[in-house]
Chain A
Amino acid sequence: MSRKIIPFVVAFVLICLVMVVAGVFAFSGAVTAEKFGSATTWSQSYSAAESMKAIDLTGDGQDDLFIQNSSNVTVFDGSGNTQFSFDYSSPKTTLGDVNGDGTDDIVVYYVGTGMSVDIISKGQRTTIAQTLNIGFPARAAVIRFPSGPEIVLADNGGGLLALSTEGKVLWRATLGSEESRGLDDAVINGQKYLAASNHDGALAVLDEKGNIVWQNNPGQIRRMRAFDLNGDGTGEIITGGEDGQLIVWNAADGAEEFSRSLGQPVSEVREVELNGEPSTREFVVGGKDGGVWAYSFDGTTANQLWSGSMSDKVTEIAGLDVNGDGKEEAVLGDDSGEVAIFTENGSRNNLPTHSSGITRIDIGKFNGARQVVIADGSSVEVNTVNFSSLPGFQYTPLIVGVIISAVILLIAAILASIPPKPAMKVSFQDKSRESLEAERRMLKENIADVERLRQAGEVTGDAYLARLKSLRADLAENEAAFKAQGFPITVETFKCPNCGGTLQLGMDKCEYCGQVILS
């Protein structure tokens, strides 16, 4: 093939490769230019929220913002105006319709006259229990057991206490000896049960009378949540350990359905419908060192979708369909104040950073718009999150591919235009008979010279053989030149069948490679 053609052939192959890759990127939709932004609708000062929820607490059909910290419970309306606010000592709260009026109420478990419980319904506070025989408040939950709702309180020493909606003690139980790290309703065959866990690793499912359905101890638990991930009417309990162990348990019998070591303590677990496919449920896990993992649960086990990272301990996770594609994005906050949105494929998009660590994030509909509520160390902020993308950006790989192809073609053209390097072994040879004969004589003289030098010990070993080989090769070329010109010549050389070196006729062993020559 011509030397000028080769660069173009190589260029053609490369261009094809580049354009195929560009086409794959362009038509698979893998390349997009998207951004998420946020604008603050309103904000209020509120220090270190421990619990926060966007929910209708006034019965007007509009979401309000419930928020609680270590000394206060407040509800703002959708515009940020305070609806009501109560101060408490070390309160722990939960939400649920306790009085059956169709509107969620706030249940407050706090240190008052002994350990007390208040119900705040539409701004009206009622104390339903005092001097309860339970320890310092850790968690509270309203569980809708088949027999009716119960208020379950968990203290920091492993104690559990269930109250009726009127404040009557129903049952008491002890689970481990450290503070509660999870109190949630677990579904078994469509019926609600209580899932409870403690920091010392105690994990149990209890029925409406406080009887333990099953229990286990996988080691120190940092976070516990219960979801029905496969929609079969029996839920799954997810625990995240101090040792980084993430386990999905079957709520009915405590069978371990999935387990994975994440290498860092699990600080938060939330369900987020990442792929918009209702037959599979996804959950996002945050780690104490900033690790983020998304899993999809297919009914029997979980598969990791992607992993990412935040800058610091993940403190909160929430799901929000920002771009209206039917798939939720995961909104994560960390202890350094960073807020980021992770999309279905795990790409991270940052929202404005807060000056103090994020404590809570929730999604709500305020004044008719879906908004993200972010609470940090000093304030609570309601943000409208928006999404924008550059139209047609997915075809940019084709443009880039064309640019690269043009450059490849240009390089090929330049390289083809450069003349080949001349050979550096050149023979200036006159083909006349006299000249060829003179050359032949000289070569024979030179061979004799080399032999003489070897005998004198001036040249030995490889140098002698190399020079001899070169001279004999020249002699063979001289013979070939004689033949080509049609001059008679007595051939005196032959080629070694093994190494190709030129030898004198009559030799029975190659001097260069040692091959015995039989012919």
Chain B
Amino acid sequence: MGTILCFIGVGVILFFVLFFMTRRKPPAKDAAAKKDYTPVFLTLADKPDNILRGMDKLVADVQRTETAGDRWWWMPLLIYISGFGLMLVDGLLDALGYFSFIFTAGGIALWIAAFVMAFSLRKSRAQAFSPRYANTKSILYTLRDDLRPSTTFLGHLDLTGAMLPTKVAREANDAQNRTTQYFRDEWLNLKAKLYDGNVLRVSAIQRIKQRKSYWKRSRISGKMKMKPPKLKGSDQQLKVRIAVNPGVYKIVPNKEFRQGQNIGKYTLAALTTEGGIIDFVASSPFDEVEPEHILNVLHSAYSLLQRKAA
């Protein structure tokens, strides 16, 4: 009897494991879950329309795979229940006084098949796209009309993750020999020749400072304890360089666009206008910056330009 109860218990646990494996995840709302995004890397070297179409197609393809997998989410559960059904045949035979194990063996085989299928369906799932994907699309969409005809956007959109080992810009140790890592994630790099002859270069960079996990001996118990990694800070940087077409514009100082000025979520950290090039860095303490703020900064930079008389 104990064995049967144990078997039923294991069966019920496996059912719920399978259920949570197969069920569709609701859209993440909490901050922690927000970090699980589909890793995407786009190389941009094409006309705006092609890039925008390509970005839409990528999302559609991912959704198509996911939808095809989700359509069968119930199948592993059905196979699992069928396995139970087979086992019940043995149970029935047992109740009639006959000993049989073959249906139980078949049921276990079906359970294994259900898990293999659930695992395969799970693999067809994709995580959500980062909001930066849509934000970049929105920036490209806005800038597309400002692009010089027959030229292309150049650059990349790197949404593979900010805290990869390859993105550790440098490391520093403190007095207690704890290591702090400085991540530099240039997630957007864009160059465009504009209709007015200017050349625009935009880099969006996320900088993260994180202390690595370390072992520490407890002062009270004397035991070694592992301290988890700790996020010490994060900010967004927008580096913009506009090579001004001297035939069309001259650069004039402007009170609305100077160092220390707040523009939306950004604060202008550095600004130079030497040699006919506007070069500035805007920084923001926010984790995410909406596209309108980036475009607003770019738009404000144009206030330094005064169109020459024809």
- Report which A residues bind B (CB closer than 8 A): 18, 25, 31, 33-35, 37, 347, 349, 389-390, 393, 396-397, 400-401, 403-404, 407-408, 410-411, 414-415, 417-422, 424-430, 432, 434-436, 438-439, 442, 445-446, 457-463, 466-467, 474
- Chain B 60-84 interface mask (CB, 8 Å, partner A; 1/0): 0110110011001001000100100
Contact B152 A435 (CB under 8 A): yes
- List 7 additional A-B contacts (Cβ < 8 Å) besides A424-B40, A458-B184: A35-B98, A347-B99, A411-B116, A426-B40, A428-B42, A438-B191, A457-B170
A-chain residues with CB within 8 Å of residue B69 when the two chains form the complex: 418
When C-beta atoms are compared, the residue in chain A nearest to B154 turns out to be A442
Contact of A35 among B96, B117, B191 (CB under 8 A): B96
Pairwise interchain contact B102-A396, C-beta atoms closer than 8 A: yes
Q: Which residues of B contact A35 (CB under 8 A)?
A: 96-99
Is the Cβ of A37 less than 8 Å from the Cβ of B170? no
Given contact pairs A404-B109, A429-B43, A396 touches B103 in the complex (Cβ within 8 A): yes
B126-159 contacts to A (CB < 8 Å): 126, 150-152, 154-155
Interface of B toward A, CB cutoff 8 Å: 38-47, 50-51, 54, 58, 61-62, 64-65, 68-69, 72, 75, 79, 82, 86, 93, 96-103, 105-106, 109-110, 113, 116-117, 120-121, 123-124, 126, 150-152, 154-155, 165-171, 184, 189, 191, 193, 201
- Are the CB atoms of A404 and B65 closer together than 8 Å? no
Contact B105 A429 (CB under 8 A): no
Shortest distance in angstroms between B252's beta carbon and chain A's nearest beta carbon?
27
- List the 5 closest pairs (A to B, CB-CB), nearest first: A466-B166, A400-B106, A33-B98, A35-B97, A422-B61
Bound: A415/B124 CA distance, A: 9
B58 to chain A: which residues have CB within 8 Å? 422, 426
Is the beta-carbon distance between A459 and B184 smaller than 8 angstroms? yes
Q: Are B45 and A430 within 8 A (Cβ)?
A: yes
Shortest B192–chain A CB gap in Å is 10
Contacting pair A33 B113 (CB below 8 A): no
Which residues on the B side are within 8 Å of A474 (C-beta)? 43
Whether the pair A459, B113 counts as a contact (CB closer than 8 A) is: no
Also in contact, A403 and B43, with CB within 8 A (given A428-B51, A442-B154): no
How far is A463 from B162 in the complex, measured between Cα atoms in Å? 12
Contact A424 B110 (CB under 8 A): no
Bound-complex Cα distance A462 to B54 (A): 31
Instruction: Give chain B nearest CB distance to A399 CB in angstroms.
Output: 9
A439 CB contacts on chain B under 8 angstroms: 45, 152, 154
Pick the contact of A37: B43, B93, B97, B166 (CB < 8 A). Answer: B97
Contact A421 B124 (CB under 8 A): yes
With a cutoff of 8 Å between Cβ atoms, the chain B residues found around residue A400 in the complex are 86, 102-103, 105-106
CB contact between A459 and one of B39, B98, B102, B169 (< 8 Å): that residue: B169
- Complex-state Cα separation, A460 to B172, whole angstroms: 11
Q: Once bound together, how far apart are the Cα atoms of A426 and B40, in whole Å?
A: 8
A390 to B96, CA, bound (A): 11
Tell me, rounded to whole Å, the shortest Cβ–Cβ distance linking A1 to chain B: 17
Contact A414 B72 (CB under 8 A): yes
Give the complex CA separation of A466 and B155 in angstroms.
17
A119 to B43, CA, bound (A): 110
User: Which residues of the partner chain A approach B103 to less than 8 Å between Cβ atoms?
Assistant: 396, 400
Asked if B100 and A414 make an inter-chain contact with CB atoms under 8 angstroms apart, the answer reads: no
Candidates A403, A418, A436, A461; contact of B124 at CB < 8 Å: A418
A37, A417, A418: most-surrounded residue (chain B CB, <10 A): A418
Which of A18, A33, A422, A430 meets B47, CB within 8 Å?
A430
A430: contacting residue among B46, B106, B167, CB under 8 A: B46
